[in-house]
C-alpha cells in the first residue's frame, strides 16, 4: 500500500491534489465521517494525519495542556527517529512480537519515516551508530511543523481533555473530563493512542487499563521496559559514584538455557543501581529473569578491547612500591569509577591475586535485584495483546474502536525502534478506520511548486 504523506501546509505555494484509489462508497462530502483520536503522541498524531488526508473530520483529544510531550522529551538528547540497519535486523529488535508488528513496519519503514520527515521540510542523516536523526537533531521544530500541517488539514486539537471511557454501552459516545466540566462526544469511530505507563508526568498514565478491562478486554499488565535496575551498592560507593558513567564496557548476560547475549556501550551508575543504553538493550531479558528467579546476574568487561592474556602481561610488570590501585592506573588506565567498581564487587583475596584480578576485570559480576519503577522507565511492555485485535488494529469486540502506539503489547529497545513503531501503528489504525468507511487508500501524489 502506498505511503500517505500529506505535504500541504508547508509552503504557501505548495499545490495539493488527492486521489482515492480502490474506493467503494467514498465519503459523502456533505456528511463526512467524524473520528476521535485520543492521545496526542506520535501514534495519535500520525493517525490524525492519515485520516485528515482522506477527508475525514478529525478531532484529537489529549489530557495534557500541550501535545507531544513525551516526543519532545525523547528528543532532548538528539531526536532519534529511526534506525538504518538492514530490515531483517531492524525487525528482530521487536522480539516475540515481531510477527505481529512486522507488516506495519514493512508498510511504514525507516525509509518511510525519513521521507515523511523530509515532507515536513527537514533533512535527515545517519549517525555513526546507524541511528537516524533530523539534520538539526531537535524535536521541537519537527513537532511544530507537524502540528501546523495537521491544523492546516483540518485537524481540531482539544487539550486538557481527559478520556474517561464511554458514556453508554456503545463504543462511539466518548466521555471526557475538561476544565469546563464533563463532556460527551459522539463519533463514527475512535483511535485510542493513550501510551503506556511510563513517565506519567508527560501523560502516559496507564489509566486506560481498567477502562478497557471493564469492557471485557484482556490487557497484559504494564511492565517497565528500557529501564534501570537496582543493585545493593554499599553506601560509600552509592554516595561517591552515583551519576558517573562507565564508558566503553561490554555487558553480558547468560540465561537459564545457557544462551549468552552481550552489548558494548556505556552504562551509568545510579544511587540505587545501573541504567543507560547498554542496560536498556538487555532490559527485557533481565526483567523476565528477575521475575522468574528473583535476581539476574550480569557481567561487565571493564576493558573489552584487551584480551585476558594481554591484561595479565601488562599487569605483570614490576609493581614496586605502588599500591594495586596505582598499578592498575599506570598499567591499564583503570581509575575512578571503574577502579571503585572493581573494589566494590570482588573479594579482597581476588584483588591481591593477579590472574584472578584480571579475570574479574574481564567478567565483573553484578547482581540485579529488581527493576526500577514503571514510571521511571523510558517505555513500557504489556498492554493490549495483538491476539485481541483484528486487521488494522481493530478491537475485535468493538468494531468502531482502533488502538495504536505503546498501549499495544510490544516492546523494543531505544535507538529509533520505539518511535518508528508508534508511527507505523498509528498509520495502520487510521487505515483500518478508512477501510471500515469503505475507503481503502488515499494518496497525495502531487507536490508541484
Average confidence (pLDDT) over 286-315: 94
CB contact burial 75-114 (16+ within 10 A = b; e otherwise):
beeebbbbbbbeeeebbebbeebeebbbebbeebbbebbb
Average confidence (pLDDT) over 287-313: 95
Model confidence at 147, pLDDT cuts 50, 70, 90, reads: very high
Residue-level pLDDT at 440 = 58
Residue-level pLDDT at 319 = 83
Residue-level pLDDT at 11 = 31
322 Cβ neighbours under 8 A, 6+ residues apart: 330
pLDDT at 31 over 70: no
User: How high does pLDDT run on average in the chain?
Assistant: 89
* Domains of the chain in sequence order: 17-224+377-446 (3.50.50.60), 229-371 (no CATH)
17 and 401 Cβ atoms separated by less than 8 Å: no
Model confidence at 443, pLDDT cuts 50, 70, 90, reads: very low
If one counts every other C-beta atom within 10 angstroms of the C-beta of residue 225, the result is: 27
Average confidence (pLDDT) over 183-192: 97
Least confident interval from 130-144, 263-277, 347-361: 347-361
pLDDT at 2 over 80: no
If one counts every other C-beta atom within 10 angstroms of the C-beta of residue 172, the result is: 19
| Rounded Cα–Cα distance for residues 105 and 389 (Å) | 17
- Please indicate, yes or no, whether the overall pTM of this predicted structure exceeds 0.75: yes
| Rounded Cα–Cα distance for residues 155 and 52 (Å) | 7
Residue-level pLDDT at 221 = 96
Amino acid at each position: 500500500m502506498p505511503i500517505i504523506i500529506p505535504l500541504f501546509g508547508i509552503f504557501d505555494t505548495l499545490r495539493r491534489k488527492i486521489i482515492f484509489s480502490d474506493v467503494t462508497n467514498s465519503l459523502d462530502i456533505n456528511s463526512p465521517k467524524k473520528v476521535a483520536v485520543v492521545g496526542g503522541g506520535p501514534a495519535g498524531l500520525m493517525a490524525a494525519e492519515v485520516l485528515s488526508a482522506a477527508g475525514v473530520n478529525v478531532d484529537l483529544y489529549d489530557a495534557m495542556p500541550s501535545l507531544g510531550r513525551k516526543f519532545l522529551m525523547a528528543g532532548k538528547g538528539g531526536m532519534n527517529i529511526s534506525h538504518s540497519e538492514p530490515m531483517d535486523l531492524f525487525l528482530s529488535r521487536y522480539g516475540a512480537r515481531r510477527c505481529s508488528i512486522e507488516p506495519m513496519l514493512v508498510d511504514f519503514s525507516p525509509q518511510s519515516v525519513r521521507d515523511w520527515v523530509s515532507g515536513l521540510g527537514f533533512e535527515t542523516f545517519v549517525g555513526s551508530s546507524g541511528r537516524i536523526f533530523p539534520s538539526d537533531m531537535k524535536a521541537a521544530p519537527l513537532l511544530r511543523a507537524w502540528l501546523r500541517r495537521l491544523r492546516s488539514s483540518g485537524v481540531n486539537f482539544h487539550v486538557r481533555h481527559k478520556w474517561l471511557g464511554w458514556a453508554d454501552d456503545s463504543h462511539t459516545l466518548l466521555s471526557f473530563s475538561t476544565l469546563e466540566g464533563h463532556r460527551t462526544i459522539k463519533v463514527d469511530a475512535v483511535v485510542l493512542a493513550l501510551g503506556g505507563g511510563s513517565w506519567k508526568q508527560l501523560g502516559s498514565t496507564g489509566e486506560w487499563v481498567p477502562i478497557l478491562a471493564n469492557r471485557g478486554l484482556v490487557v497484559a499488565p504494564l511492565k517497565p521496559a528500557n529501564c534501570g535496575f537496582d543493585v545493593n551498592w554499599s553506601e560509600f560507593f552509592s554516595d561517591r559514584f552515583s551519576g558517573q558513567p562507565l564508558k566503553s564496557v561490554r555487558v553480558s548476560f547468560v540465561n537459564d538455557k545457557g544462551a549468552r547475549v552481550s552489548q558494548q556501550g556505556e552504562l551509568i551508575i545510579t544511587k540505587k543501581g545501573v541504567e543507560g543504553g547498554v542496560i536498556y538493550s538487555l532490559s527485557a531479558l533481565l526483567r523476565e529473569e528477575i521475575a522468574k528467579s528473583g535476581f539476574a546476574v550480569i557481567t561487565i568487561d571493564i576493558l573489552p578491547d584487551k584480551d585476558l592474556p594481554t591484561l595479565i602481561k601488562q599487569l605483570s610488570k614490576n609493581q614496586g612500591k605502588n599500591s594495586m590501585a596505582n598499578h592498575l592506573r599506570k598499567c591499564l588506565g583503570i581509575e575512578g569509577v571503574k577502579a571503585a567498581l572493581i573494589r566494590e564487587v570482588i573479594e579482597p583475596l581476588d584483588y591481591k591475586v593477579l590472574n584472578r584480578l584480571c579475570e574479574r576485570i574481564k567478567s565483573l559480576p553484578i547482581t540485579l535485584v529488581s527493576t526500577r519503577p514503571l514510571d521511571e522507565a523510558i517505555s513500557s511492555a504489556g498492554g493490549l495483546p495483538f491476539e485481541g485485535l483484528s486487521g488494522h488494529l481493530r478491537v475485535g469486540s468493538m468494531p468502531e474502536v482502533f488502538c495504536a502506539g505503546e498501549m499495544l503489547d510490544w516492546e523494543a529497545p531505544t535507538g529509533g525502534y520505539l518511535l518508528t513503531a508508534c508511527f507505523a501503528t498509528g498509520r495502520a489504525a487510521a487505515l483500518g478506520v478508512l477501510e471500515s468507511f469503505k475507503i481503502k487508500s488515499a494518496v497525495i501524489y502531487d507536490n508541484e511548486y
